[in-house]
């Protein structure tokens, strides 16, 4: 994306946070739904990749079923953004009350913090992953998370301000050892660290099998747990008709750095189970599997 595209993206998100919250909910919801249907019909690169990803999740789906699943997934992603633009002005206590009705596995996080070593909560890009954060802030206090460094800087700062307004402590993914040391410190303070962990942005993740194919996932969650004794807890998130489904899974044991690969594979297996149960709510519109990257490289070499 060039500078003009980056600037337009920044202006678009700024308009979202300033305009959407002022629209009637029914009107904004209808607008996002129509935009999602148009995007699914248009079949741009992100939608085509989403369809390819979903074909791995639901391999038994025929072409018509896969088209409909992709449309529903784009609608789910649009719902995420509709909610994201409204969350800063929504009633946080009301959100937590609604989450309390559907969340399961809270005892796993309570038990982890009772041990005094903190908790590493790992989630995929599924449902509205900000909502579990709002709920956690109300129950346990502020937690720390890491976000991708977006361009331009003004857009990155906009997202930082958004999530800080929800009570999150934000670190940049390009912070290197400084960010990692601060995460270690937060865990030693018996706090919660929350990480989106189904996509390896560094290129140095742990090889895993995911829906029967090779990919890699970040080593960070398991490394943090191994270094501090913190509990590693996978969390599933999805949409319900009028709210959110959240499940805090039992702890994945990782006591030593040598156990990081096995723990990361276990994390991938839990993610796969939740995604398979709610495939339309997995918002993975980027290449994820090694085969897709290899195919892209081969096509580029052919073109050259």
Condensed to tens digits (0 to 9), the pLDDT of residues 146-166 reads 987 766 677 778 878 888 989
| pLDDT at residue 296 greater than cutoff 70 | no
> What pLDDT score does 63 carry?
97
> What pLDDT score does 147 carry?
84
Average pLDDT over residues 230-258: 96
- Categorize the per-residue pLDDT at 17 as very low, low, confident or very high, splitting at 50, 70 and 90: low
**Percentage above 90 pLDDT, the chain:** 72
> What pLDDT score does 304 carry?
42
> What pLDDT score does 3 carry?
64
| pLDDT at residue 302 greater than cutoff 60 | no
Instruction: Please give the Cα distance from 142 to 35 (Å, whole number).
Output: 34
| pLDDT at residue 247 greater than cutoff 60 | yes
30-67 pLDDT per residue, tens: 998 999 999 999 999 999 999 999 999 999 999 999 99
> What pLDDT score does 279 carry?
98
94-151 pLDDT per residue, tens: 999 999 999 999 999 999 999 999 999 999 999 999 999 999 999 999 999 998 776 6
> What pLDDT score does 201 carry?
84
When the pLDDT of each residue in the chain is averaged and rounded to a whole number, the result is 90
Average pLDDT over residues 67-88: 94
The residue with greater pLDDT, 76 or 8, is: 76
């Amino acid at each position: 994306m060039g500078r003009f595209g980056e600037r337009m993206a920044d202006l678009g998100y700024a308009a979202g946070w300033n305009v959407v919250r002022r629209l009637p909910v029914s009107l904004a919801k209808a607008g996002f739904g129509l935009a999602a249907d148009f995007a699914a019909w248009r079949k741009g690169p992100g939608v085509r990749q989403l369809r390819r990803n979903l074909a791995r999740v639901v391999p038994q789906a025929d072409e018509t079923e896969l088209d409909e699943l992709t449309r529903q997934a784009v609608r789910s992603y649009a719902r995420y953004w509709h909610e994201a633009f409204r969350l800063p002005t929504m009633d946080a206590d009301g959100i937590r009350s609604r989450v309390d009705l559907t969340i399961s596995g809270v005892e796993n996080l309570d038990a982890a913090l009772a041990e005094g070593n903190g908790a590493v909560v790992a989630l995929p890009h599924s449902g509205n992953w900000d909502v579990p954060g709002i709920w956690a802030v109300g129950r346990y206090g502020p937690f720390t998370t890491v976000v991708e460094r977006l361009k331009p800087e003004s857009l990155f700062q906009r997202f930082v301000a958004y999530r800080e307004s929800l009570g999150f402590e934000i670190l940049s993914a390009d912070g290197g050892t400084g960010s990692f040391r601060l995460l270690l410190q937060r865990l030693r303070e018996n706090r919660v660290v929350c990480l989106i962990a189904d996509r390896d942005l560094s290129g140095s993740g742990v090889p895993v099998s995911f829906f029967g194919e090779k990919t890699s996932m970040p080593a960070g969650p398991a490394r943090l747990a191994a270094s501090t004794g913190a509990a590693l807890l996978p969390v599933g998130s999805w949409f319900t008709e009028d709210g959110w489904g959240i499940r805090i899974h039992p702890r994945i044991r990782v006591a030593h750095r040598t156990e990081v690969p096995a723990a990361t594979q276990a994390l991938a297996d839990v993610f796969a189970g939740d995604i398979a149960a709610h495939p339309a709510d997995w918002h993975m519109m980027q290449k994820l599997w090694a085969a897709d990257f290899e195919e892209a490289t081969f096509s580029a070499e052919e073109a050259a």
